[in-house]
Amino acid sequence: MQLDDIAAALGISKTTVSRALSGKGRIGAETRERVIACAKEMNYVAPAPSLVTAAETNGVTHNIGVVIPMDSKGTEAPFFQTCMAGITKCCAVRGYDTLMIGAEENDISHLKRVISQRKVDGIIITRTLADGSMEKMLREAEIPFVAIGRSADESAVTVDSAHTEGCCELTSYLMMNNPPERIGLLLGKMDQTVNKSRLAGFEQAFANAGLTPNADLTVTGLGSEILIQRAVSELLRRGCGCIICGDDVLCMQLVTVLSSMGTAIPRDVKVASFYGNDYLDMYSPPITSLKFGAADLGMTAADQIMNMLDRGSAGHPTILGFEMLIRKSTM
């Protein structure tokens, strides 16, 4: 008789069964009683202590899993590296180690394997997806988690930057210095919740002014250099005088495309980004952008998950601020 048999009989996870039988896991009294009763009925005998892992013995590994998107471009690396550094630093102070878990849009098998093998006590998701698949899986496995960014799971504990507010403020600034009908927007894939927030902020700025964005100058779902080249050519053909990029990766690609076309910034077209990095500051001219604290996001998320584990805290949504940097690219 194995833990899997008890889990199948009760319709719960193996992790829940193990924690209930160990007496040290974060399990409700009613669930614990059901598991113990089922184990007795099925004549379950626990393995010898020498064959039981530390996690199965006391339900604690002192590891925090950090889900990192493996399909991210190299230019996105600075954000995730800085965020990971913040997480690792905070975890180390509290006596926890971090385990990096790779995930792609359509493949979270690595995360599933880590959870099934009970290698971590909690999870931090560094990029949320619109379908909420990771959050759903973690809830079913009863693993505490914190998501960096908005989550499709409305009850999830999240740590996010004020993307919508920041994008609204930057767009409003640009609308004061450019004809609103000539402002364009380039956004990446809309299955990423952060891009939904950025679009909402962009549209809110227009709504505040009693206007609507020029639909012909708003392009979303950009995921390849060819699509970006086509989008930029079309925006310029339609008379776009100011292009806002959804993130730093798109912005760097935009600058490259404009340079190849012989289009000067800001003489021919102004450029801004809803997310900035150090590279954009070093461009000539430097790019107007929003700055968010990646390390602060990581440290706050780590603090949240460890409070949930160590103190039984329910956790709470946290929104961090932003800085708007006006550079020569929009002057």
pLDDT tens profile 244-299: 999 998 999 999 999 999 999 999 999 999 999 888 889 999 999 999 888 999 99
Burial 141-169 (b: 16+ CB within 10 A, else e): bbbbbbbbbbbbbeebbbbbbbbbbbbbb
190 and 285 share one domain: yes
pLDDT tens digits for range 77-131: 678 888 999 999 999 988 889 999 988 767 788 888 998 888 999 999 988 877 7
312 and 234 share one domain: no
212 and 286 share one domain: yes
169 and 285 share one domain: yes
The number of domains in the chain is 3
CATH code for position 250: 3.40.50.2300
Q: pTM of the prediction?
A: 0.70
Q: Tell me: pLDDT of 67 over 80.
A: yes
35 and 124 share one domain: no
User: CA Rg, the chain, in Å?
Assistant: 24
Domain that holds residue 154: 63-161+294-321
Average pLDDT of the chain is: 87
CATH code for position 12: 1.10.260
Three state DSSP letters for 66-129 = EEEECCCCHHHHHHHHHHHHHHHHHHHHCCCEEEEEEEECCECHHHHHHHHCCCCCEEEECCCE
224 and 199 share one domain: yes
116 and 12 share one domain: no
First-residue to last-residue Cα distance in the chain: 72
